[in-house]
Amino acid sequence: MFNNDQTDVLVVGAGPVGMLTALLLAESGVRVKIIDQGDQTVGHSYACALHPRTLKLLDEIGLANDVLKLSRYLSTVAFYEGADRRAELRLSGIGLDFPFVATVPQSALEDFLEQKLKQMDNVTIHWNHRLSALRQEQDAVVASIDKLSKSAKGYAVPDLDTVVQKTIHTRAAFVVGADGQQSLVRQCLGIDYERVAPPENFATFEFEWQGNGEHEVRIVMDEKTTNILLPLPENRCRWTFQRITTDEPSEFPSKDRTPFYVVEPTNDGDSRHELLSFIRQRAPWFDDTVGELDWSADIRFERRLAKRFGHGRCWLAGDAAHQTSPIGVQSMNVGMREAEELSESIVEILKKEAPLELLEDYNRRRRGEWEKLLSVAPSLGSRDEASSWVKKHSDRILPCIPGSGDDLALLVNRLESSCDADQETLVVSFS
């Protein structure tokens, strides 16, 4: 097809979604160039829970074993209302290939994906390369890419400035925009985001914890907030508490590539105090000792959906097309499914000469999925037999279920059909 500064597919963004897209395309024999403006993979745990379907995908490219060696397996999702356990979702016994959620730092996942990419002949990964413009032609897309480098200024404390070393023009049959929240690909396509629900603020705390025997995700709801406890590997866990605040939206932080957090001792003390206070108020049953605090962060998550997932020869996947709250870790996991679907469609077009319109199906399916997940379309709880507790919280339960597509339907159906309106505590067993 193309030579030199030409490739079959240019993937913009080497986050988990971009790297998976590149891998799946390359495995089908497509030539791929993947670029990222950052200088390496992410340094922290960020989106640290993998849904069963994501694990299956990783298995198909031979990565599940390695990832699972570093993971903690969580086989139950339990719903609490204050101190009362209201619902329990067991993932075993319903035919899932991986009947659990696996927690593993996003940094480890990205490292595995990068290592795998580096083993392949038909894909090249370019860090410090930033997309600056896109032009769609009839048979191709031309991307302008700035090659970045650092130049030092200042004397006592060197200050590194990013400078453009040169600009490369790459011609590709397709461009995949997996370039995250501020997606330039989306902006170049003139596709707007729709804010489908108000943004939500969360305070996240990760700390040392001895709850070794713990194998469930716990979602704690009250009148106004949804909170989540995620046990992590290596004697650690993460509490994410929803904040009620009327603060103005702040910019979403960019990915930090350094492997360490700088925590001021005074801030650490404040954070610890706040963590303990959250636990006392919202999860009084959590009486395990809180060990050393690794890090904490306050982040505002938007709930937005791109009006389209692309057009012509440029398509979006992952955070470039959607953002949501961190509770169900949906944005990354559903983004991985988009990587799968988009790469399949592109391969069909490139190898089997399927029409470009095939990608319209991708747009329709993905929009439909997100309308459901973001509760734009009617979903869980509309059925009469759902328990009153489930009905009351349906729009908040759906984004917490670790699945999408067929898996989500399977889990939701079990949840609905097992509900008993008279039961105080709802136990949903999948055996």
User: Mask: binding to ligand FAD, 18-37, rule CB under 6 A, as x and -?
Assistant: x----------------xxx
Residue (363 or 418) nearer to ligand FAD, CB: 363
List for the chain the helix, strand, coil content (%; round to 5). 30, 30, 35
Count the neighbouring beta carbons within 10 Å of the beta carbon of residue 167.
Answer: 12
The reply on whether position 54 binds ligand FAD by CB under 6 A is no
What do you get for the CA distance between the two ends of the chain, in Å?
A: 51
Please tell me the distance from the alpha carbon of residue 80 to that of residue 266, in angstroms, as a whole number: 33
Is the CB of residue 412 less than 8 Å from the CB of residue 385?
Answer: no
- Using left for φ > 0, alpha for ψ between -120 and 50, and beta otherwise, residue 13 falls in left
Residue 406 three-state SS: helix
Please tell me the distance from the alpha carbon of residue 179 to that of residue 194, in angstroms, as a whole number: 18
Residue (195 or 351) nearer to ligand FAD, CB: 195
Residue (38 or 231) nearer to ligand FAD, CB: 38
Widest distance between CA atoms in the chain: 72
The reply on whether position 332 binds ligand FAD by CB under 6 A is yes
**Which of 57, 232, 279, 329 forms a contact with ligand FAD (CB under 6 A)?**
329
Residue (14 or 374) nearer to ligand FAD, CB: 14
Which 198-257 residues touch ligand FAD, going by CB under 6 A? 204, 253, 255
User: Mask: binding to ligand FAD, 268-307, rule CB under 6 A, as x and -?
Assistant: -------------------------------x--------
Which of 372, 362, 22 lies closest to 175 in space, CA to CA? 22
Residue (73 or 261) nearer to ligand FAD, CB: 261
- Please state the closest distance from residue 109 (CB atom) to ligand FAD, in A: 9
Which 155-184 residues touch ligand FAD, going by CB under 6 A? 178-180, 184
Residue written as token pair 């969360």: 202
CA atoms within 13 A on the CB side of 174: 28
The reply on whether position 402 binds ligand FAD by CB under 6 A is no
Where do contacts with ligand FAD occur on this chain (CB under 6 A)? 12-18, 35-38, 46-47, 106, 130-131, 178-180, 184, 204, 253, 255, 299, 318-319, 326, 329, 331-332, 335
